[in-house]
Structure 1
Amino acid sequence: MSELLVTGGAGFIGSNFVHYVLANTDHTVTVLDKLSYAGNLASLDGLPSDRFRFVKGDIADAELVDPLVERSDAVVHYAAESHNDNSLHDPRPFLDTNIIGSYTLLEAVRRHGTRFHHISTDEVYGDLELDDPARFTESTPYNPSSPYSSTKAASDLLVRAWVRSFGVEATISNCSNNYGPYQHVEKFIPRQITNVLRGERPKLYGTGENVRDWIHADDHSSAVLTILERGAIGETYLIGADGEKNNRDTVELILELLGQPRDAYDHVNDRPGHDMRYAIDSSKLRDELGWAPRYADFRSGMESTIAWYRDNEGWWAPQKDATEARYREQGQ
């Protein structure tokens, strides 16, 4: 049994990872989360009290971070400011959390010789043309296009430098877009699902041609655990489930699965610098570490996700009105 420190564990993919680990291993988990607007303690309800504890705090607080890292066998670093629209409105929190926070954790694991896994995004690679057959690989040059993706790229480079310069035992994973339970309703898929559940029309940026490579959060969690247990120190692994769908097709699938006409959505203003296409080549992870996704079929994963939001309105309803008010101000 190992003691894991999971930063950002009250957020979307972090909380899914905590649930996955506690259900599928005998590890114990400490979550460190400052509970910003995207963190939600309700996402951690029902976890076993003998194997889980929660600490409220900022990953940039070195005095708080150090003893937590000292008592842990490994740190899994999910904590990040991650919403592109917010980064365009106010970039500063993204520098504070994604760069300074990651630096603070790296210094702590350096002092204590603690295993470190860093969660990143495919957005550090920029975007691909819609007709480009290529996919991102571990050797794709970084080309971030937003304050969010550029600060994640910076944190990736810090991890690589701390491995090479100081011998920190770290790995990195860059993942495609996640969907599943516990995702804030500001994000694309849960926003559309909860709109339909409330009898409102989904909203589609621009023409909806932008393509994302979707992966269910449970599959992301299983991949991260695989890398933590079997990944080679200093290596980067791309996590994807071959789930390329454009935004229009995704909205239309949500409407279909909820029994609505596939064209019952509204077009809204596109956001500045909206990347056109992401696509992940996860063959290194699959071939070297033997990982494979459970939800290889996007439709079945979406059915499961819609069922969760239908059954858990008490979790998402408190966020919904404020989120939609903010989008209306932006014409979106």
Structure 2
Amino acid sequence: MRIIVTGGCGFIGSAVVRHLIGFTGHEVVNVDCLTYAASAASTAAVASDPRYRHVRADICDGAAMRAILAAHRPDAVMHLAAESHVDRSIDGPGAFVRTNVVGTCTLLEAVREYWSGLNAAARAAFRFHHVSTDEVFGTLGPGDAPFTDATPYDPRSPYSATKAASDHLVRAWQHTYGLPAFVSNTTNNYGFWHFPEKLIPLVILNAIAGRPLPVYGDGAQMRDWLFVDDHAEALVLAVERGRPGETYAIGARQPRTNLEVVRAICRELDVLLPEPAGPRTRLIRHVPDRPGHDFRYEIDPSRAEAALGWTARHGFDDGIRRTVRWYLAHRDWWTALQARHDSGRRLGVVAA
């Protein structure tokens, strides 16, 4: 297939691009406008492959989306472009409405126009895969069963509300216009090329530098952690095998509290880069919780595992070890990012 990947220079998008080029025979057109959290370096390893090309464009630009679709004639679109940081959505929700809601609507209309012009066989084979989050389902209590693809929506932050809206748009376009679209929802991802405003990369970099490791509240908030390369594999299987109208809830069965995650990172760094001052857990600082902080996210991926023939390959301990080693080996990348961005709230407070 020829696949358009929106947001293919972002954290999850770049993992999808690398997987598509490295492990399949598909062609990739990466549509990414290179916002602050995107990195062209994340796709540098595949940039010279003749099956890959990058087009710098904004999904909110309908004319650009129509031109890209007409020029490249894709067999599928994997839509990952999104604003995704909850703290930023609390500070400035407008950007999230623009990208996640207006951008998705704009892209859907461009895709619908393109898809409507295909012959009957191509229309039937075409797929629009919208990649979303488990945060649209709200929050779980300590004893609640994990989310499934049938869990009712209950978003709690501007970020999750805009992602929920985009999910609803995709399903409406599938139901009303027949666009062969489906949605996947995932748990928290971690791994390589992750912009250091999210929990795991932020803690790694702070701990390397000997800076405080601020943790919201008591750190008991729980997430199911999925290694990003495992997620990329699942997403590619979904675009190959996914059925229109379906929902695929993708998780790793690896729940950990935020405090457990921070301590695991400290343990790995203490082994790989010990400090004379002692274990890095001494750097942990509990700070006031953010507004509306959801307590727990976790997905039961049983149905997606059966439908896609997939399970997560990496356990949490192995994934964290690989991730910490990667950041130690790629100092040039993240030190350049730190030089370009301020070291204030968005790059200084643990968020998950």
Give the TM-score band, short-chain normalised: over 0.9
On the 8 A contact 1:69/1:75 being kept in 2, the answer is no
Compared CA separation, residues 330 and 171, structure 1 to 2 (3 A) = closer
Which runs of no fewer than 5 residues in structure 2 stay unpaired?
116-125, 271-278
Aligned residue pairs: how many?
329
On the 8 A contact 2:197/2:347 being kept in 1, the answer is no
* CA deviation after TM superposition for structure 1 residue 60, in Å: 0.9
* CA deviation after TM superposition for structure 1 residue 133, in Å: 3.5
* CA deviation after TM superposition for structure 1 residue 72, in Å: 1.1
Matched, 1:170 2:181: yes
Distance in 2 (CA, whole Å) between partners of 1:264 and 1:275 is 24
Distance in 1 (CA, whole Å) between partners of 2:64 and 2:78 is 16
| Per-residue Cα deviation, 1:45-70 (whole angstroms, up to 9, x for no partner) | 12133111111111010111013223
Corresponding position of 2:120 = none
Corresponding position of 1:81 = 83
Counterpart pick for 1:208 among 200, 219, 228: 219
* CA deviation after TM superposition for structure 1 residue 89, in Å: 0.5
Distance in 1 (CA, whole Å) between partners of 2:20 and 2:8 is 12
Q: Letter of the 1:39 partner, please give it.
A: A
On the 8 A contact 2:88/2:346 being kept in 1, the answer is no
Corresponding position of 2:10 = 11
Distance in 2 (CA, whole Å) between partners of 1:166 and 1:226 is 25
Deviates more, 1:109-118 or 1:94-103: 109-118
Corresponding position of 1:289 = 308
* CA deviation after TM superposition for structure 1 residue 102, in Å: 0.6
State the secondary structure of the residue aligned to 1:60: coil
TM-score (norm 2): 0.90
Corresponding position of 1:123 = 135
Distance in 1 (CA, whole Å) between partners of 2:336 and 2:329 is 15
| Per-residue Cα deviation, 1:122-145 (whole angstroms, up to 9, x for no partner) | 00001011x223110111110000
Corresponding position of 1:198 = 209
State the secondary structure of the residue aligned to 1:190: helix
* CA deviation after TM superposition for structure 1 residue 326, in Å: 3.1
Distance in 2 (CA, whole Å) between partners of 1:43 and 1:31 is 12
On the 8 A contact 2:127/2:244 being kept in 1, the answer is no
Identical residues among aligned pairs (%) = 44
Corresponding position of 1:270 = 289
On the 8 A contact 2:203/2:350 being kept in 1, the answer is no
Which runs of no fewer than 5 residues in structure 1 stay unpaired?
none
Q: Letter of the 1:319 partner, please give it.
A: L
Counterpart pick for 1:234 among 239, 242, 245: 245
Compared CA separation, residues 179 and 328, structure 1 to 2 (3 A) = closer
Corresponding position of 2:22 = 23
| Per-residue Cα deviation, 1:211-233 (whole angstroms, up to 9, x for no partner) | 01100001110111111111111
On the 8 A contact 1:213/1:278 being kept in 2, the answer is yes
Q: CA RMSD in A?
A: 1.7
Counterpart pick for 1:185 among 177, 191, 196: 196
Corresponding position of 2:68 = 68
Q: Letter of the 2:195 partner, please give it.
A: H
